[in-house]
Chains A and B, each alone.
Chain A
Amino acid sequence: MNSVIQATGYILAHTPDLLVHNGTTQTAEREHNPESEYLRQIPQHIRSYRQVVEYLPNQTYIGNMTPEELARVEQPWYDKPVENASRFGTFGEIMPQDEFLLLLQACDVFDLVWLSTAFVSEALPRLAAHPLIGEDILAKIKTGVEPDAIEYAVSQEHAEPLYHNGLLVGYVRRAHDFDPNLSAHIMLENLVSKASSVLSLLHVVHQAGIEKNAISYVIDCSEEACGDMNQRGGGNFAKAAAEIAGLTGASGCDVRSFCAAPAHALILAASLVSAGVYENVVVTAGGCSAKLGMNGKDHVKKGMPLMEDVLGGFAVLVGKNDGVSPEIDTAMCGRHTVGTGSSPQAVITSLVTDPLDRAGLKITDIDKYSVEMQNPDVTKPAGAGDVPLSNYKMIAALAVKRNEIARDEIGAFVEQHGMVGWAPTQGHIPSGVPYLGFARREIMAGSIARVMIIGKGSLFLGRMTNLFDGVSFVIRKNSGGQEESAVSQKQIQGMIAKAMREFAENMMREQG
């Protein structure tokens, strides 16, 4: 029986100082061209937290407006703030930087993150007021250190500085004297990923309305690697984040495939649950500090704000069929194989039409396609075009080639089966999954019946292969079947075991 999407959580964390000091575009510029005009201009292009909350795509990401509502606003969006925008949304929240830095420390279990006493006493009451941050997490935050200690660690001990509003407020120290995989820089990147994953987990559990210890398994699908010099990508982000989030009943593992990982992870989660291996599985991912301000040079050149100033995170709870929630149809998974080839046509065929053909469906039978949902406000000024739109045009062109629509219907197809992008350019974060929250809601409301989620990944960036990657799956309206509860299954197993034991005991007695 198919498993279902039971809840989704989507979070953003506004981290402008991480953008300035840790985004690779900025760190590379500082190293190679320290006097550059770009670095000089950055401060004038930083957005305030309020501006980030009021940003239309961000409000869409946390579920306070729909992609359809977003599409009705003419682009660009950065100069059209949402009135009365709120930090919390239907699916999650936009966390400010000070609270995120505290959460970063709460996620560190090796005394690597240190914040100044003044910063902690100023910011802690705000995090303490957070509806989902409990005493267990708050108790992990240290009272703080004095500014001298921070200065010393940064200047003398290779620590990575942490800034807030341009001021040095803390540091992340290296976790080993000479192991490059435990350097302060890598520890910060990994803790950022972990902390944003933790926040996503807290939201998905809250959305699902279940006990934290009811989660069986967690799969992390971010793009970071944690380990030491003897096992650089040893893992396991999933279990590390589950620990801080209080998911005491969960085990977990990491799944990687660049931006395709979330779709791979969801297929695995759906399979594990429908096979009865686990009661439920959460697929989670935190954000990536390296990608902050990735296209910043183009944004600054064009007089725009630096819009890649948020970390993204999401978590999706996949559970047993409850008879109501949308089903993940594992019979309709598309995959880009080793032999598929890398032309866009071969890729789209393998991901879209191959699974549809197997199910006897047409391209137009899918109500919505969720592709690489990157926010065009960010990508267009950087010369990368409108990524979702290009994907929809490709799917439409394939439909033309298959005589499912006429060539002059491409525009109408894109409008009907596509969406504008709203997700931050955080690699894996925009990849197919941002629509799952809306898809669940729309399918359950009966306004749509089938959605295809497509994840694609650029494996060649890791220089292990020239191959591309991608997988897809379909979620659809629940067919009404409900799985027996696990409790009754366990009861049955218990009864059988008891009967077998009694039978054996009787046999022994008879033989004796």
Chain B
Amino acid sequence: MDLENQRRVKELSEKYGAENMVIVLGAAESEAAGLAAETVTAGDPTYAGPLTGVSLGLRVYHICEDEMKAEIAEQVYEDQVSMMEMVLDVDSIKKEMSAIRSEYCKF
């Protein structure tokens, strides 16, 4: 995950409390989604950014997961995300995301 984004996530978590944060990802590949999810839960696995050794355990979802879809107005989702749903390997992203959440999410 981009170091600047890690810094933002860290600062926002400190400001609003980790329990009040939800991270929404838009990565195109399950591996990339998994890495970003791991970064905001267990800590930066590449040991490069501000979240190195910081286990925030945040709630984290990919935009194509059902939990997110349920939160978004149908037409907005249709206009903004449905095309990518057709392109991405959504099943493998869902699998990766729920595996990371069940292992590291604290909320």
By a beta-carbon cutoff of 8 Å, the part of chain A in contact with chain B is: 341, 343-346, 348, 383, 385, 390, 393-394, 397-398, 400-401, 407, 410, 463
Contacts and interface: CB of A to CB of B under 8 A. Distances in A.
A390 B86 contact: no
B91 interface: no
B102 interface: no
Interface string B22-53: 00001011011000000000000000000000
Contact of A407 (B4, B32, B86): B86
Contacts of A407: 86
Contacts of B79: 345-346
B26, B28, B87 interface centre (most CB from chain A within 10 Å): B87
Interface of B is mostly: helix
Contacts of A401: 82-83, 86
Contacts of B29: 383, 385
Contact of B87 (A341, A346, A390, A463): A390
Contact of B31 (A345, A383, A394, A397): A383
A449 B34 CA distance: 43
Contact of A398 (B26, B31, B83): B83
Nearest to B31: A383
B32 A345 contact: no
Interface of B: 4, 26, 28-29, 31-32, 79-84, 86-87
Contacts of A394: 83-84, 87
A387 to B, nearest CB: 10
Contacts of B80: 341, 343, 345-346
Interface of A is mostly: helix
A346 B82 CA distance: 11
Across the A-B interface, give the 4 residue pairs with the lowest CB-CB distance, nearest first. Answer: A397-B86, A345-B83, A343-B80, A393-B87
A398 B85 CA distance: 11
A397 B90 CA distance: 14
Contacts of B82: 345, 401
A401 B79 CA distance: 10
A345 B84 contact: yes
B84 A397 contact: yes
Contact of B83 (A348, A383, A385, A463): A348
B86 A343 contact: no
Contacts of B86: 393, 397, 400-401, 407, 410
Given A344-B83, A397-B86, 13 more contacts: A343-B26, A343-B80, A344-B84, A345-B81, A345-B83, A346-B79, A383-B29, A383-B32, A390-B28, A393-B87, A394-B83, A398-B83, A401-B82
B80 to A, nearest CB: 4
Nearest to A32: B48
Nearest to A463: B4
A340 B36 CA distance: 26
A160 to B, nearest CB: 25
25 contacts: A341-B80, A343-B80, A343-B81, A344-B84, A345-B79, A345-B83, A346-B79, A346-B80, A348-B83, A383-B31, A383-B32, A385-B28, A385-B29, A390-B28, A390-B87, A393-B86, A394-B83, A397-B83, A397-B84, A397-B86, A397-B87, A398-B83, A401-B82, A410-B86, A463-B4
Contacts of A344: 83-84
A144 B32 CA distance: 49
Contacts of B28: 385, 390
A410 B85 CA distance: 13
Nearest to B85: A397
Nearest to A400: B86
A87 to B, nearest CB: 37
Contacts of A348: 83
A341 B82 CA distance: 15
A343 B85 CA distance: 12
B32 A343 contact: no
Contacts of A385: 28-29
A346 B84 CA distance: 10
Contacts of A398: 83
Nearest to A394: B87
Contacts of A390: 28, 87
A393 B4 CA distance: 30
A343 B28 CA distance: 12
A401 B84 CA distance: 11
